[in-house]
Amino acid sequence: MGNYLIKMPDVGEGIAEVEIVEWSVAVGDSIEEDDLLCVVMTDKAAVEIPSPVDGQVTWIGPEAGITMAVGADLVRLQVEGQGNTSADIPPDKSMGESTEPVQMSTGDPEQSGAEAEAAKATHQPGESAPVAQSVGSAPARGIPRPEGERPIASPAVRQRARDAGIDLRYVHGRGPAHRISHSDLDAFIAGSGAAAKLTGQLADTSVKEIKVIGLRRKIAAIMQDTMQRIPHYTYVEEVDVTELEGLRTRMNNQRRDDQPKLTVLPFFIKAVVKALRTFPEMGSRYDDEQEILYQYGAAHVGIATQTPSGLLVPVIRHAETLDIWECAAQLKRLAEAARAGTIGREELSGSNITITSLGPLGGIATTPVINSPEVAIIGVNKIAKRPLWKDGGFVPRDIMHLSSSFDHRIIDGWEATQFIHGIKDMLESPALLFMEDQ
């Protein structure tokens, strides 16, 4: 038997540290080669870390939410034969010690599995602390106080509650016979008091502590930074997409059932790509520390995509080389990969303009946040049938809005308006989308 140390592997170029998002193993688990050890978050993507060998876990690294350096100790295993390290279990070996006896004393495999589950549970991110806290201080709910019954509390507690404007009927008493003590009142005032179950609607005073980790933490940091650095200018324009919708329907009708259908998004991508030819500054990236604007010939279009773990922006690279069907295929592939969590880090970076769409939920107008360091983001709102005054009467038209934000340090309002009008023209007369550039 030997000890095997797994260090945090290099997960991508230029990445020095990663955040542990979730552990898939716990101390005591027996694992095989390629079993998932944990998921870590880089600056862009979640990366799964597999085990290079078989063995039994004797130690795991920091809990979820903690950022650790690449190359730092991640997991220690006990392996058959010689390990890769002679060092024993590192200083913090309490976990190993506390679970090993359990393993040995339980002959029943099912039970040992449950024990392992329990051990694992204590390492779950964001769970261990609140759970422990709830055992320690949050009052357990007891017998509901029958309607109309007065809470049991001493006159001094009652007076304090009145002074604080608290109705003691909503305070849980942890004392015998659910007597409310001064400390119960303190707990209630501090916000951890659970309301006693009466009837009807109750004030729910519970507060859940959720650690912001992983992708959410990344998004939070980026959004905060973006909004602090970039003076946003948002412009909303109305677009009549009746003809575009007609064209799209026709194109889809010619497809076989097994072929993917077009959404409106590929048309927008095409329109943006073509508009960038006229307004190349819209597809630039601004390094505000160096005060240099990088203007690209390419159109790497980021597509804001909601995934179960949060917002990601996969990138359609060189959209200027793709026809409408290829755009559609790329969109589908990237969205699926992003949602499945299998998307690579290289496909989540490098865009120079971003399109954000909430699809049918898209609202009337939005205030999109620029995907820094880009300078423009195009927001697509939903399409709705609206009456339009035309030739002396109202006619039903498919109307949608484009809500777009620009970095006002680089883009002035007038230019932004021109850019959006260029897109609008193409979308309203979709034939323009397919005309050769002059």
Contact positions vs another protein (CB under 8 A): 143, 150, 152-155, 158-159, 162-163, 165, 175-179
Cα separation, 98 vs 89, in Å, equals 13
315: its two tokens: 């990138």
Compute CA distances 369 → 215, 286, 420, whole Å: 17, 15, 17
H-run or E-run covering 162: helix 155-163
Active-site position among 408, 421, 425, 437: 408
User: Which among 135, 143, 134 is positioned nearest to 196, based on CA atoms?
Assistant: 143
**At closest approach, how far in Å is the CB of 177 from another protein?**
4
Nearest-angstrom CA–CA distance, 363 and 126? 34
Residue located via tokens 């007065």: 150
How near is the Cβ of 188 to another protein at its closest, in Å?
17
Rounded Cα distance between 207 and 275, Å, is 49
The catalytic residue among 412, 421, 425, 437 is: 412
User: Could you count the other beta carbons within 10 Å of the beta carbon of residue 87?
Assistant: 10
| Least distance between another protein and beta carbon 153 (Å) | 6
Residue 173 CB, shortest distance to another protein, in Å, is 8
Nearer to another protein among residue 199 and residue 253 (C-beta): 199
Distance CA 170, CA 172 (A): 6
Which token pair is 192? Answer: 């951890």
Contact 58, 94 (CB under 8 A): no
Choice between 177 and 210, CB closer to another protein: 177
Per the annotation, the verdict on 300 as an active-site residue is no
In whole angstroms, how close is the CB of 156 to another protein at the nearest point? 9
Using alpha carbons, select from 122, 141, 142, 140 the residue that is nearest to residue 132: 122
Q: Which is nearer to another protein, 178 or 274 (CB)?
A: 178
Which residue's CB is nearer to another protein, number 141 or number 421? 141
Distance CA 57, CA 89 (A): 11
Strand locations in 159-253 (E): 232-240
* DSSP-based three-state secondary structure for 134: helix
- Nearer Cβ to another protein (69/156): 156
Nearer to another protein, 165 or 393 (CB): 165
Cα distance between residue 393 and residue 400, in whole Å: 20
Give min distance, CB of 174 to another protein, in A: 13
Verify whether residue 288 is a known catalytic residue: no
Catalytic residue numbers read 408, 412
